[in-house]
Amino acid sequence: MDDPGQVADAVLDGNPRAAARLISWAEDRDDRAWRALERIHPETGSAEIQGVTGPPGSGKSTLVDKLVDSYREDEATVGVIAVDPSSPFTGGAVLADRIRMSRRSTDPDVFVRSMGSRGKLGGLAPAIHDAVRILDAMGKDVVVIETMGVGQGEVDIVRTADTVALVAVPGLGDDIQTIKAGIMEIADVFAVNKADLDGVQQTVAELESHLRLAFEDADDDAWRPPIVETIAKNGDGVDELVAAYEGHREHLETTGELDERRRERAEHEIVSLMKERVTERVLGSEEGTRRFEGFVEDVMGRKLTPRSAAGELLER
Amino acid sequence: MSEDKIRVLVAKPGLDGHDRGAKVIARALRDAGMEVIYTGLRQSPEEIAQAALQEDVDVVALSCLSGAHMALFPRVVEHLEDRQAGDITVFGGGTIPDDDIEELEEQGIEDVFGPGTNTKRIIERIREVAA
């Protein structure tokens, strides 16, 4: 399980151990990952990639667990990637999404992987794209990405998934306000979870009024996110949520928006990898780190602006 | 910038409902910079092995307070071996009588940590086996 070529072949055969190992290499930015990914990349592109996001405690993991059940009833194979934050101080993380996803834990056609956000403050780990690709290559029909609904991760998920569901819950009236800025826009589907709680009508009404404003001047063929009420703990509304995902998928395919999204995703991923590699090239050696520290001193001593320091570092 | 992050599965096999110890360990390992996957209560050995494999962990840390460790811990090792994942190290913890430790170690449990074990020692041992 150390040879990239063998690992790539095993992933294409659907071997879970190999897929798990390759995801770790990608997370660790290990050189073996790139060789194996080179090999599997041509075999990817057929999985449906779905995102689920929303504030902590809104029931995302439970909802994903029920979505997985529903896909398994239709005999689709499923990969799940659950992202939890890494500590920016120690780099450590406690990844606990599996607790709510244990019902399919011995099903060989369900592959669940927990990921720490690693380094990218609030955002998704750079390896998320690779993990999606690996699950796609091992033959999963659907890949579901679950992220915590705070910060940059929400914008990143749009650049990773084909369809994004934003999970809201009643009783957090102000929460809708806080997620409005920048986050409402990412939803292709709204799931109002815990719909047995008081205040569900108010939450739905708030979302509807937001949508009315947002779509006032929209084209007729624009996708208007449906609002689905769910009670994840007993599975209510999950069929409707699956139907909403399917509806959006159809919209993506008939309007050509799927290709557009995938093009944007490729552009975004290439640009992030360029940034990563440039940083690596400048700072990746001891000598580079020493030069860098010298420039930091110069900036601190007001001899150079940060911009000139960055320019000088890139010069060589 | 590559790094080899240590990943640990903390799991509770069997029927006891007490996971304070497991959570304390999970937090200590996180603060030591590791990625800890916690799967919650009442997991079967098969579920634990499947999770360990999908998560590609270096170490599985089992906690059991029900007294069923002699039945459960070796079953986890067996299920890992069945999946060609016998290279994943398994540690045990919880209320384990001293008399049982030797037999558990013979059955493939790398080390057994009883109540009161300093978390620093556990972190050191994990770093050793993951290196």
| Binary contact (B30, A87; C-beta < 8 A) | yes
**Other Cβ atoms closer than 10 A to B27:** 16
How close A177 comes to chain B (CA, Å)? 33
Domain spans in chain B, listed from the N-terminal domain onward: 7-130
Q: What is the pLDDT of residues A22-55, one digit of tens each?
A: 999 999 989 999 999 999 999 999 999 999 988 8
Cβ–Cβ gap B33/A114 under 8 Å = no
Tell me which chain B residues have a C-beta less than 8 angstroms from the C-beta of A86: 35
**Contact residues, chain A, for B51 at CB < 8 Å:** 98, 105, 112
Architecture of A45-255 per CATH? Answer: 3-Layer(aba) Sandwich (3.40)
Which of A186, A204, A182 has the alpha carbon at shortest distance from A194?
A204
pLDDT higher than 70, residue A288? yes
Average the pLDDT over B66-94 and give the result. 93
How many helices (H) and strands (E) in chain B? 5, 5
This complex has an ipTM of 0.91
Q: Domain extents for chain A?
A: 1-43, 45-255, 271-315
Q: Does the pLDDT value for residue A172 go beyond 90? A: no
Taking only the tens place, the pLDDT of each residue in A201-220 is 988 988 888 888 888 888 88
Would the CB atoms of B36 and A102 count as touching at under 8 Å?
no
Q: Nearest chain A residue to B36 by CA: give it.
A: A94
Which residue, among B24, B56, B58, would best test binding to A if mutated, counting the most A CBs under 10 Å from its CB? B56
Which chain A residues are closer than 8 Å to B55 by Cβ?
Answer: 20, 113-114
In order, the DSSP letters of A125-191 are -TTHHHHHHHHHHTT-SEEEEE--SSTTHHHHHHTT-SEEEEEE-TT-HHHHHHHHHHHGGG-SEEE
Give the mean pLDDT of chain B. Answer: 92
Residue B56, burial from CB neighbour count under 10 angstroms (0-12, 13-18, 19+): buried
**pLDDT tens, B18-60?**
888 899 999 999 999 999 999 988 899 999 999 999 999 999 9
Q: Please give the CATH topology (third level) of the domain spanning B7-130.
A: Rossmann fold (3.40.50)
